[in-house]
Copies of this chain bind each other. A is one copy, B any other.
Amino acid sequence: MKCINLSSEEKLKEAAKSVFLKKGFAGTTARDIADAAGMNIALTNYYFRSKEKLFIEIFRDLFQLYCTNTIKILEKPIGLEEKIIEIIEEDYRMMKEEPTLVLFIMTEIHRDCENLLPELSKYKELLNGILIKQIEDAKKNGLVRDIEVEHLMPIIMGSLQFVFVGKNMHRKMYGLSEEDFDQFTETHKNHVIGMVTNYLFRSS
């Protein structure tokens, strides 16, 4: 029976994704999306029933993009220091690919946390369950500083992601071109690696 043309539906979804990423839910109109896709205004509702349903679908995808690869690294059977470096490298790669993603995620969760993160606790388990054990083991052996994962992760994510959250502010403040900014974030990432590993493994 219902055999939706994936080409049109996905074209619309891709357009919506890029507009939502740029302007957020409140700042985006159905016409913005239709225009960006080069399609008729009615098609948003034909394929996705409403602007909000389309948004939620896209948000889920983007939240996956934000988390999934990091979680995969957490599950890898490698040493703690190597793992943390890989997490930072992966996080950096993800933001270089989609520089507005972090601010988008934070803004929309702030706007409508309950609807957008109904089952977040599973992420908590995935994100921390594995790492906690690894860190506890290292602590017992005196190889690592005494810090909870609940603080370590925001320190890593924060010090790294913040330059992307405030991309426009940093670009304007330091007068950076797009290329300059790329260079800036890469150097920054290396400082983060240095600081975090130093604090965890080589501090006095």
Contacts and interface: CB of A to CB of B under 8 A. Distances in A.
Interface of A: 23-24, 26-27, 100, 103, 105-107, 109-111, 113, 117, 120-121, 123-124, 127, 147, 150-151, 154-155, 157-163, 165-170, 172-175, 184, 187-188, 191-192, 194-196, 198-199, 202-204
A184 B155 CA distance: 13
What secondary structure prevails in chain A residues at the interface with B?
helix
A120 to B, nearest CB: 5
Contact of A109 (B24, B26, B168, B175): B168
Contacts of A147: 191
Contact of A150 (B105, B168, B172, B184): B184
Contacts of A127: 173
Contact of A117 (B117, B172, B184, B203): B172
A181 to B, nearest CB: 11
Nearest to A171: B113
A168 B199 CA distance: 27
A39 to B, nearest CB: 23
24 contacts: A23-B26, A23-B111, A24-B111, A105-B169, A106-B106, A106-B166, A106-B169, A109-B166, A113-B169, A117-B172, A120-B172, A124-B174, A151-B187, A151-B191, A154-B162, A154-B166, A154-B170, A158-B159, A158-B160, A158-B163, A161-B162, A165-B165, A198-B198, A202-B204
